[in-house]
Structure 1
Amino acid sequence: MNQAALALKITATEADTDVTLEARIAAACARVAPLWPLKHFVAVNPFLGFTGQRFAATAATFERVVRARILMPRAFYRHALAEGRIDDAAMAQALALHPDAGLDIDSLKQALRSDAPAGAPPAVVATVAEVLDGLAEGDRYVSLVAFMIDEISAFCASYFDEGQANWPNPTRRLRPYAAWRTLAIYDRNPEVMGIRGFRTSVAALPTDPIEAIGVILDRLGIPDRAIEDYLVRALFDLGWSAYARYVGWSAELEGRRDDTLLELLAIRLAWGFALFEARTDDAFRTAWARAMEQAAKLPVDHCLDETPELAVDVVLQEAYEIVFRRNLIARLLANRGSAAQSGRMDRPAVQAAFCIDVRSEIFRRALETLSPEVETIGFAGFFGFPIEYVPIGHLRGGAQCPVLLKPAFIVCEEVKDAEPFEEAEVLGQRLLRRRVAKAWKSFKVSAVSSFSFVETAGLGFAAKIATDSAGVTRPVPSPVSDGLDSDVAARVGPRLAPGKLKGRSTGFTDSQAVDMAEAVLKAMSLTGPFARLVLLTGHGSTTVNNPHASGLDCGACGGHTGEANARVAAAILNDSQVRDGLRARGIDIPADCWFVGALHDTTTDDVKLFDEEDLPAQLADDLARLKLRLADAAHLARLERRALLGVGDAADADAAIKARSKDWSQVRPEWGLAGNAAFIAAPRSVTRGLDLSGRAFLHSYIHEQDRDHRVLELIMTAPLVVASWINLQYYGSTVNNAAFGSGNKMLHNIVGQLGVLEGNAGDLRVGLPWQSVHDGSRFVHEPVRLNVFIAAPETAMDDVLRRHAGICDLVTNGWIMLHSLGGRGPVIRRCVRPGIWAASSSE
């Protein structure tokens, strides 16, 4: 072979190696679930990158690779058995699902008598940090692992900061790896802490992050079959990986590529490499060589027969969920024949659409209990309008739609019926107040004035501190008011007409408005008859001193309240030209029907109506009656919620629950979506009159009106997926809050306005606080995977599953349990995989 041919072959081999490495890096990065920042914090499935494999296999992968458990402690299942929440029949069904576990009921009960052995099974591949931990016998300070995480976290906090830091990171103009490397080669902290040659090791690495990763993997001697596992483990060592994944996710929605997560991986590996280079002693080198030998021998598959103790807990988790599912199915079947199923009313007095959020179930049931003539509807709280809502004085707004979607329209806030000079005056007031508030805050926290400010002005805040602490006043203004006076705020509304905002098109054209109105009404199964008043009720939460406040708002609205979407939807559906267009398409909204936008405060259960001044005069009495109905329903809902909130006296329930929204010491202003366990898409008659205890997402769906099954496809690929994200986030934060949650809420400190640290240092925390799933003595959220029930033909659902691999993976791999409610018999069937449905009793 001549020299040219040899050079060509070598070049081709190197290119193949580079492609393989990039593919492995991409696969590892895809395992990480994104973390949305606090300003629009939304629930995310922490196992998002693992839904392509079965739940049980993922449990093994997490124990062996990520070194994290995704099941409850053995004592939890032992207690459930004693309480009857696990029984022999359920254990037998669970064992049938996992024949590879090699267990029977007797051995399962025997294992239940004691806790699982301490410690995880051998790692598929150890990191440098893990080997150092082992040599230090768990002393996190001696091993320097905690120091490494602190240092990487401090860099990320300054690099990704969104305005919290007074002194910005000087390298932010660079990409993350280049920025870190620029600082690291001058940073003496690691060497002061005993990491010899840290700067030299970093400086010797390639400037390209992919090349750096390749060099590090080669120098560490990671076995070829263990490379992806090693990369996954390194990524899961850092909570900041989740935020970096969010940055990439947002770029993908805009059609861009972003390698922030890849570059953070290079930073993490470079730190591990520097630790490796600093340890030349025989003890470490021997331990590392032994770890690499182990990594080369272990099989690729992570099966239950390799981890017998894990197999026990997987089967017990299945049995626990089987009992829950059995009881829920029995209640659904019993309700089928009850008197509550009265069919759809000829013309209800009021129709009230609420978000499918589980908290709406309590309010809907209360409203129907007190007012049987009212028909309630469940639909995703963005009401089918994927908008970016821009408040007055802003050039950008927030995405008011599920994070799976990109806003299709920009809607701007304006002052209704105002002359240009009046709107300019409101805008000026708002901008002035923002500037004054910003200047005041800067003065209070500046290095020069902070101490003198407290000395001279501190006593002036005594009265406010006292009233805020007593719950008489609110410590901070409502984030949605933005400093507007109440008389001006009442006149503020959305601008729907097409226009321009810094070169971006805003509003809706006439044809777009009609198209969206038709799609929304059909998706809600609301094509007639129409009541005189139709309430479109978004939801939000009122809390103070709560970094995760947006997580209690509407996930369907991207972590914002649903006010903007409800008002936009109502305005469009009340438009006479839109109604003419709908009438031409077979949807006739009567002239005496009016849509009203509203907002349900899930902390207080108050419902606020918007744009009342636009209501036709002939409907004034209807509106007055509606307000009374809503007030009575709110009281009944508060009475139901009080026990879980620890409000003992029913007479004081209204005042006590409302006070929680103003209490800056309250770690549980409400329970959010804790307890969520079911998603039901069916006519309301299927669940009306059934007490689901605020644990079910309720989506209205009448399949007879959905002949082409497009609405079914929309439900299964959008709201159902979002509900699964919520369910699995609560699941993860319950089974292992240290890995998938954000720890103790009382210790949280906001970092970069992006997320929280638990304490004054450490890693970015993901997921929900411990107080969101536990009341101090018991779990409020049950770790149960989502049970989905859809009243639709099984063949139609099969078609959707075959067309959408993502939702098919959720079903076939056991991340959600899909059931059909389409038949009229006494059997509810569960989907095993597309085309295969089994009676629920046989699991």
Structure 2
Amino acid sequence: MGKSNYTSTDTLYNKVTHASRVIVPLSPISVFAARSPWANLEDKTFDEIAQWLKDARKVDMYPPRMVILQAHQQGEIDDVILERRLQQWLDDTTLTIPRMAAEQYGRNALKLQSLSKATDLNKQLDTLVAQYKGKDSTNATRQHSTRLVPLKSTYIVDQNNEKLIDTVDYHMIKWCKLYLDDAQSGWTMPNRDKGLFYAWQQLIVHDPALSKQQRVRLKDLPKDASELMDTVLTRLEIAEADIQTYLENHLLSLPGWAGMMLWHDEQHDKAHDLVFSYLAIRLAMEWAIVAPYLPVTEPEDLSHSNEKHLKSHIQSWLEWGGCSVEDWQTMSEHEQQNYIAFSRQFNNQLCRKLWLEAWEASYNQQLKEMLVPEQRHDAQTNVSDVQMQNHTEVQMAFCIDVRSEPFRKQIESAGPFETIGLAGFFGLPIEKLELGSKHGHPSLPVMNQPQHQIKEYTHEREPNAFQQRKHILESVTYTFKKMKQNVLPSLLLPELSGPWLTIQMFTRSFVPKRVGMGMHKFYARWLRKPEDTALTLDYQTYQQAHHPHHLHLKHDLPVGFTNTEKVSYALQALKLMDLTSDFAPLVVMCGHGSQSANNPYAASLDCGACGGAASGFNAKVLAQLCNLPEVRIGLREEGINIPETTIFAAAEHQTSVDELTWTYVPELMEAAQAAFERIEAALPEISYRANQKRLAQLPNNNLTTRDPIHEVHRLTNDWSEIRPEWGLAKNAAFIIGQRTLTQNSDLAGRAFLHNYHWQHDEDGQILANIIAGPALVAQWINLQYYASTVAPHYYGSGSKTTQSVTAGIGVMQGNASDLLTGLPWQSVMSADDKMYHSPIRLLIVIQAPKAFIKRLLENDPVFKQKVENGWVRLASVDEHNQWEDWS
């Protein structure tokens, strides 16, 4: 067997734990939650990770040429700022060639044009290369990089000319699908309940996709995962110092399936048990497949490749640097080497890095001019005067989601209505269990764990009609699925269901709006909830009456809130939204969700702050809390006096149709009733104008002949529609400040807006909470859209038209690909070759004095690291309306 590398299993577990930083947890698509693919790598700079990924996986983190040039043509990148970035880079670089030559080369290289392929030039270049090689005995064309320890299966091809790494991936995809299947397949993986490694060991020796010799090799391996991993690493001759890197490369080979294993480990509080098993299996499969080819030697750089690189460097100086052939030939050997070294450094990747920084600086400048133009102080005063003259009748708190911003603007222009921004989970760390649901859903940001369970229930003692009807519907669906999966019933099923499904297919294809809305109304009536539903807000009363042990889900969550917790959460939410005085007669908590048909990514269009769920439930919980007498009394003791005439209600903003649906409207007093009727009367026109503006940004929509309301409902009900809405595409900024800072600006639905007043936050704790929670969610959303745009083949999920849902947990391209981790192509591009989302890093703007920003950075090393390492950008607007860049 050979000598073992390790005597301690803990050592291997530590290696796996550290290696798993290169991936992030991937949640099932039904609860899709945005994640930055580089969330665990922020101790390195953005540029360092970009170089590492380029070397390790040939993944590029900078925007591609096509996207950059389109942005430039659309006026998103200022030429003056690009030139400034070039000059700054030259200032920061130790030059060994004349500055003028470097500037000329840099400007031409930044045009991102390809080098000429002229035949006559090639002959001259061959001569220059031959002359250069004659002078260069050190072979200066070789590029050195950190040892990356590629997988042994990377360089080997079998008799069918297929790479063995692809064969390893194929087998891993198969075993992952079998183990992680969420009741989609007809047969469950045997021994699944005993864990992935045990189940795989029992089945692998019978796998017909492997040769007899491969099965024998796997059968003889140790039965313990850590011993197997140790044995295989020894047989593959992986040095101890290289093991973590080797494991990282295995995880990066299929980051989607590995990420799903990591997510399951987190959900079940396991210390990388599934990830460990996954890696042990991958190593075993790799060794069994590559064993006949061992030992494997990495191919060295071929001289032909070096010659090709050298030729391109010399040619770039002839075409971009203004050198003639004669100029080059008269240079000394040392000068030529310096010129070659500069062209290596000023490569295509660096060019696109400078373009990205210029793009971000251009947006920074545009936003600055909108938020703090000349006479801004007078403008803010005028806005305040108008608000004082027109008494606010309705205050509406929306999620910070960028889709809320245009809708809020329409609301504010429609009457004496004020809008407020905060994270859509409304500061409530809850797991919701809606009436008729069997499973709870954590309704809060994915980096946090729920602390309470809130259940919707009915006062009826006997099972109500709603639950009976829902049970019938679930039974019919379950029966239909089981008939499809069983041999004999599946033969009869087409005869029984064919006519109905044929009619459904034709009607949903040709009249999607009418059929979709008809089905929606049918289900709404069929699954109509009782009017007396309530929420388990009162911890003690509900527990005494309903046997709480039946309500607890994982982690044994307490049901409801104590009186102290009720006051605490209401107080925290009101402070976060900066609503502690001057209450309107009607205050509406507005969650949001989305509606679309035949869309595996439906959850990605719901509330990002609620872990991929509609946030109307959280809005309803907070509104009810704020109406409770005991909460009002507790808030008064904390200095927040809510008038008796102020009533809290709840609604949900449907982002795909820009409509507001009321989810909780208690009995209203006279002033609140008048305010409610006024906002109700204004909502149709608000929706019309919001949809009209939003639809103009969707491709292939001719609004001159179509009614916006009709069109949005067609889009949401059309099961062939690949782009029901844009989601959070084009997100670019997170603005933390008073609404007066932003309400006169057209932010084009690109900014997350969070209310904040620094004068109400003496110790800076409110700002710290916003940065640690909502701002982090916004950063993850931003970087997921960024990654899906710049590297769609690795971090995106390809075209929706060729996706297939697998195992009930995610999507693949075809029937054997990685589990895709990011957004579909249609979510970031308006056409195959036309950009829509602008891949720039999030700009966080904080309206507060400089002392607040300094204190924030000093007290929050994690956020400071994000800023310093280039994962977010930071700016502030101080009390004198002065803009300050911090990154």
Normalised by the length of structure 2, the TM-score is 0.83
1:339 aligns to what SS in structure 2? Answer: helix
Change (3 A) 1:95 1:477: farther
- Please state if 1:580 is matched with 2:619: no
Superposition RMSD on alpha carbons, in Å? 3.1
Tell me what 1:275 maps to. 289
Letter in 1 for 2:190: P
Contact 2:112–2:351 (Cα < 8 Å) also in 1? no
Tell me what 2:726 maps to. 671
The one-character-per-residue Cα deviations of 1:686-705 (angstroms, maximum 9, x if unpaired) are: 00121111000000001111
Change (3 A) 1:317 1:210: farther
Counterpart Cα distance in 1 of 2:274 and 2:629: 48
- Please state if 1:34 is matched with 2:25: yes
- Please state if 1:807 is matched with 2:851: no
Between 789-798 and 702-711, the greater mean CA deviation after superposition: 789-798
Tell me what 1:818 maps to. 874
Contact 1:94–1:319 (Cα < 8 Å) also in 2? no
Instruction: Specify every segment of 5 or more residues in structure 2 that has no aligned partner in the other structure, as ranges.
Output: 118-142, 303-341, 553-557
- Please state if 1:106 is matched with 2:104: yes
Shift of 1:706: 1.1
For 1:155-174, what aligned pairs fall within 5 Å after superposition? 155-174=175-194
Counterpart Cα distance in 2 of 1:708 and 1:249: 34
Shift of 1:475: 5.6
Letter in 1 for 2:287: F
Tell me what 1:299 maps to. none
- Please state if 1:502 is matched with 2:550: yes
Tell me what 1:343 maps to. 384
Change (3 A) 1:97 1:573: farther
Larger radius of gyration: 2
For 1:447-486, what aligned pairs fall within 5 Å after superposition? 447-469=487-509, 470-473=511-514, 485=526
Counterpart Cα distance in 2 of 1:94 and 1:477: 59
Tell me what 1:188 maps to. 208
Tell me what 1:754 maps to. 809
Change (3 A) 1:679 1:690: same
Shift of 1:553: 0.2
Tell me what 2:753 maps to. 698
Contact 1:476–1:544 (Cα < 8 Å) also in 2? no
The one-character-per-residue Cα deviations of 1:523-567 (angstroms, maximum 9, x if unpaired) are: 110001000111110000001100010010001111110111011
Contact 1:395–1:502 (Cα < 8 Å) also in 2? no
Tell me what 1:730 maps to. 785
Shift of 1:616: 4.0
Counterpart Cα distance in 2 of 1:20 and 1:290: 34
The one-character-per-residue Cα deviations of 1:405-450 (angstroms, maximum 9, x if unpaired) are: 11111111123xx4423x5444334333322332233234433223
Contact 1:128–1:275 (Cα < 8 Å) also in 2? no
The one-character-per-residue Cα deviations of 1:801-831 (angstroms, maximum 9, x if unpaired) are: 3343332221110010011112414x42222
- Please state if 1:551 is matched with 2:562: no
Change (3 A) 1:214 1:799: farther
Tell me what 1:241 maps to. 258
Change (3 A) 1:497 1:121: farther
Counterpart Cα distance in 2 of 1:201 and 1:288: 27
Counterpart Cα distance in 1 of 2:515 and 2:429: 32
The one-character-per-residue Cα deviations of 1:722-762 (angstroms, maximum 9, x if unpaired) are: 00000000000000100001111111111111100112222
2:457 aligns to what SS in structure 1? Answer: strand
Shift of 1:113: 4.3
Shift of 1:22: 3.5
Change (3 A) 1:609 1:79: closer
Tell me what 1:649 maps to. 703
Instruction: Specify every segment of 5 or more residues in structure 1 that has no aligned partner in the other structure, as ranges.
Output: 1-9, 292-302, 833-843
2:379 aligns to what SS in structure 1? Answer: coil
Please, which of 84, 89, 95 is the counterpart of residue 81 of structure 2? 89
Letter in 1 for 2:373: A
Change (3 A) 1:766 1:225: same
Counterpart Cα distance in 2 of 1:801 and 1:112: 35
Please, which of 296, 303, 306 is the counterpart of residue 285 of structure 1? 296
Letter in 1 for 2:281: I
Contact 1:74–1:116 (Cα < 8 Å) also in 2? no
2:823 aligns to what SS in structure 1? Answer: coil
Shift of 1:640: 0.8
Tell me what 2:829 maps to. 774
Counterpart Cα distance in 2 of 1:375 and 1:669: 29
Counterpart Cα distance in 1 of 2:378 and 2:735: 18
Contact 1:95–1:315 (Cα < 8 Å) also in 2? no
Shift of 1:518: 0.8
Please, which of 222, 225, 235 is the counterpart of residue 209 of structure 1? 225
Between 347-356 and 795-804, the greater mean CA deviation after superposition: 795-804
Tell me what 1:146 maps to. 166
- Please state if 1:530 is matched with 2:583: yes
Counterpart Cα distance in 2 of 1:349 and 1:483: 32
Counterpart Cα distance in 2 of 1:780 and 1:338: 36
The one-character-per-residue Cα deviations of 1:555-609 (angstroms, maximum 9, x if unpaired) are: 1111110111011111111112211111121111111111110000000001001
Shift of 1:483: 7.0
Percent identical pairs in the alignment equals 30
- Please state if 1:265 is matched with 2:287: no
Counterpart Cα distance in 1 of 2:288 and 2:346: 33
For 1:209-228, what aligned pairs fall within 5 Å after superposition? 209-228=225-244
Shift of 1:366: 1.1
Change (3 A) 1:67 1:482: farther
Contact 1:365–1:689 (Cα < 8 Å) also in 2? no
Shift of 1:334: 1.7
Counterpart Cα distance in 1 of 2:475 and 2:103: 68
Letter in 2 for 1:228: Q
- Please state if 1:711 is matched with 2:766: yes
Tell me what 1:314 maps to. 353
Contact 2:445–2:611 (Cα < 8 Å) also in 1? yes
Between 797-806 and 351-360, the greater mean CA deviation after superposition: 797-806
Between 605-614 and 705-714, the greater mean CA deviation after superposition: 605-614
Between 750-759 and 719-728, the greater mean CA deviation after superposition: 750-759
Contact 1:163–1:752 (Cα < 8 Å) also in 2? yes
Counterpart Cα distance in 1 of 2:461 and 2:493: 41
Tell me what 2:820 maps to. 765
Please, which of 615, 620, 627 is the counterpart of residue 680 of structure 2? 627
Counterpart Cα distance in 2 of 1:634 and 1:503: 39
Letter in 2 for 1:649: L
The one-character-per-residue Cα deviations of 1:461-512 (angstroms, maximum 9, x if unpaired) are: 3433333221145569999998764653554342322221426331112221
Change (3 A) 1:599 1:409: same
Between 770-779 and 307-316, the greater mean CA deviation after superposition: 307-316
Change (3 A) 1:265 1:800: farther
For 1:115-126, what aligned pairs fall within 5 Å after superposition? 124-126=148-150
Contact 2:585–2:671 (Cα < 8 Å) also in 1? no
Letter in 2 for 1:268: R
Contact 1:187–1:199 (Cα < 8 Å) also in 2? yes
Normalised by the length of structure 1, the TM-score is 0.88
1:376 aligns to what SS in structure 2? Answer: strand
For 1:270-419, what aligned pairs fall within 5 Å after superposition? 270-279=284-293, 285-287=296-298, 308-334=347-373, 336-337=376-377, 339=379, 342-343=383-384, 345-346=387-388, 347-371=391-415, 373-415=416-458, 418-419=459-460
Counterpart Cα distance in 2 of 1:338 and 1:215: 74
The one-character-per-residue Cα deviations of 1:241-287 (angstroms, maximum 9, x if unpaired) are: 111121223244xxx5342112212222222222220325xxx8344
Letter in 1 for 2:26: L
